[in-house]
Amino acid sequence: MEQDLLPQTVSGHQNDAVDDDDAPTLSLQALQALKEFLTEQSHSLNDTAAETPPASAPALISEDWRMSQFWYDHHTAQTLAQEVLTLCKSDSTRVACVACPSLYAYLKNIDSNVSVQLLEYDTRFEQYGSDFTFYDYNQPEDLPLELKNGFDIVVADPPYLSQECLEKVAKTVSFLARSEKPYLLLLTGEVQKERAAELMGLHPCGFRPCHSSKLGNEFRLFTSYDPEARIGGWDN
């Protein structure tokens, strides 16, 4: 609040008429407070400018925090999308995005021909047509049979950091992934490291995903394969 930064420390006469020579001046304390405030404002503006995605970034539907939606920042989404596209070995490669719609948008923005299926609870994403499948993690295998074991790459971002949620999402990933050596990527909190290994055989990577909303929990990327130098490799 700016009012608190300028306390009643103005020197000068208290009458209505003030001579030019007696123009009010700020005390050293008030000047210091004002300087700190302006510095913070400048940093805030610079941070906002730095976080603003370029014009080439896809337009995203607004987050709905009631559904635990927190989109990746531009760098994270772009890096993940590039990694997934690197894993696409042919035009027939199929990708499943489980509860990570911002990644879907970036993938399609970079390569509109990539085959991506978005599994998501939020029906606003029905606008993606046949690329959208309604998904409730509480019903992990209540999905169309044509999706079963049909994907070479599965990326999942469980909406909650609970053991129950990860266990159910792991069942969904198993349902979707092809039976032989699929590429699995999981984005979740650091606290799920041991469970990710036990349930899905995944390892943490050096790359640290970030969100536009600056979440307090530390997030990690876990994979079933060693991405080597591309995203920092396995970080054991």
> Exposed, middle or buried by CB within 10 Å (0-12, 13-18, 19+), for 116?
buried
- What does the pLDDT look like over 129-180, one tens digit per residue? 999 999 999 999 999 999 999 999 999 999 999 999 999 999 999 999 998 8
Report the share of the chain in percent with pLDDT over 90: 57
- Cα dihedral 63→64→65→70 (10° resolution): -30
Report the pLDDT averaged over residues 188-210: 95
Span 83-95, pLDDT tens digits: 999 999 899 999 9
The phi, psi pair for 17, rounded to 5°, reads -95, 130
Distances in Å between the Cα of 173 and the Cα atoms of 76, 93, 152, 156 are: 21, 16, 11, 7
Kindly state the greatest CA–CA separation across the chain: 86
What pLDDT shows up at residue 71? 75
Greater pLDDT, 167 or 60:
167
Question: At 114, is the pLDDT very low, low, confident or very high (cuts 50, 70, 90)?
Answer: very high
Summarised one tens digit per residue, pLDDT across range 7-49 is 333 333 333 444 445 545 556 665 565 555 554 444 444 444 4
Q: What is the SS3 assignment for the chain?
A: CHHHHCCCCCECCCCCCCCHHHCCECCHHHHHHHHHHHHHHHHHHHHHHHHCCCCCCCCCCCCCHHHCCCCECHHHHHHHHHHHHHHCCCCCCEEEEECCHHHHHHHHHHCCCCEEEEEECCHHHHHHHHHEEECCCCCCCCCCHHHCCCECEEEECCCCCCHHHHHHHHHHHHHHECCCCCEEEEEEEHHHHHHHHHHHCCEEECCCCCECCCCCCCEEEEECCCCCCCCCCECC
Q: What CA–CA distance (Å, rounded) separates 51 from 45?
A: 10
Per-residue confidence (pLDDT) for residue 47, from 0 to 100: 46
**Domains defined for the chain, CATH in brackets:** 2-51 (no CATH), 65-223 (3.40.50.150)
Q: Give burial (CB, 10 Å; 0-12/13-18/19+) of 98.
A: buried
